[in-house]
Amino acid sequence: MPERDLAILKFGGSVLRDHECLDIVVEECHKAVHAGCDVIAVISAYKGMTDLLQCEVDSHRPDLEPGAVTAMLSIGEVLASSQAGFALLAAGLDTHVATVREIGLVATGDPMDARPVKLDVQAVRSLLDTLHVLVVPGYMAVDSQGRLALLGRGGSDQTALFLACALEADSCTLIKDVDGLHESDPHLGARWPRRYASIDFESARQLGARVVQSRAMDMAERHDYPFMVRSSPSTGGTIVGGATQLEPGNSVGLPGSI
């Protein structure tokens, strides 16, 4: 049997408003599997969930033990990834929901703003040998002592791109609520700005962290790993890491916040 490609699909909180939006995850994973890919679905918390959890943390003493804080703030990703797993299984896809400990995703630094440094590649490959979709919660990892660590706001982008680079995945797609990168914020101004069909890393960085977490962008550039930013459904999206090329005319856009 020929070896299947590996596709990393990251689903941001901007498109996962609640559990009823999990049909997006199911549809995108179905498409990838039927196109001949194994899939790692990186799942963010539902929109606004991390902010609610941060309010709960803030209502307690500011000197809370870090383990209590990281455990509280990770609840959103644990909930959404578990429910995504149920939805994928119900749709008939061979699926496993992994913990970050199970795949050996290790990070270093501030437990609230850590950066991933290690992945048990063999563990991930072994899991994918027996199924088509592996669900991984974004935003979280463990430190060298097995304690929970978080990757900062927008950290699910970093999860997806770290997995893609470590596993040498055939593709990595960040699924947002705006279909790619534009000359300016699509939600400001009277005209919808032109979209980049592709954009080099430095030009993308100059747009700021409005679409992709800056640390995730830096990681992709260090590994010279191009990735896609698009919506679902998509009118094309933007390849980040290619030669900069604007699409002619106005692009079709989707409402909402990034």
| Sheet with strand 148-150: strands edge to edge | 115-118, 106-108, 140-142, 148-150
pLDDT in tens, 89-104: 999 999 999 999 999 9
- Residue 254 predicted with pLDDT over 70: no
d(CA 245, CA 252) in angstroms, rounded, equals 17
**Concatenated DSSP letters for 61-98?**
-TT--HHHHHHHHTHHHHHHHHHHHHHHHHTT--EEE-
- Residue 179 predicted with pLDDT over 80: yes
Give bridge partners of residue 133 from the DSSP assignment.
39, 95
- Residue 235 predicted with pLDDT over 70: yes
What is the SS3 assignment for 240? strand
Q: Which CATH class is domain 5-175?
A: alpha beta
- Residue 9 predicted with pLDDT over 80: yes
Which residue shows structure tokens 């790619």?
A: 180
Q: What is the value of pTM for the model shown?
A: 0.92
Write the CB contacts of 39 (distance below 8 Å, at least 6 apart in sequence): 6, 7, 8, 9, 29, 32, 33, 132, 133, 134
Residue boundaries of the structural domains of the chain: 5-175, 185-258
Residue 246: count of CB within 10 angstroms of its CB? 15
Q: Which of 201, 239, 207 is nearest to 220 (CA)?
A: 201
Q: Would you state the pLDDT for residue 193?
A: 84
d(CA 119, CA 103) in angstroms, rounded, equals 7
- Residue 88 predicted with pLDDT over 50: yes
- Residue 127 predicted with pLDDT over 80: yes
pLDDT in tens, 191-205: 678 899 999 999 998
Query: Could you say which DSSP state residue 151 is in?
Result: B
Q: Would you state the pLDDT for residue 208?
A: 67
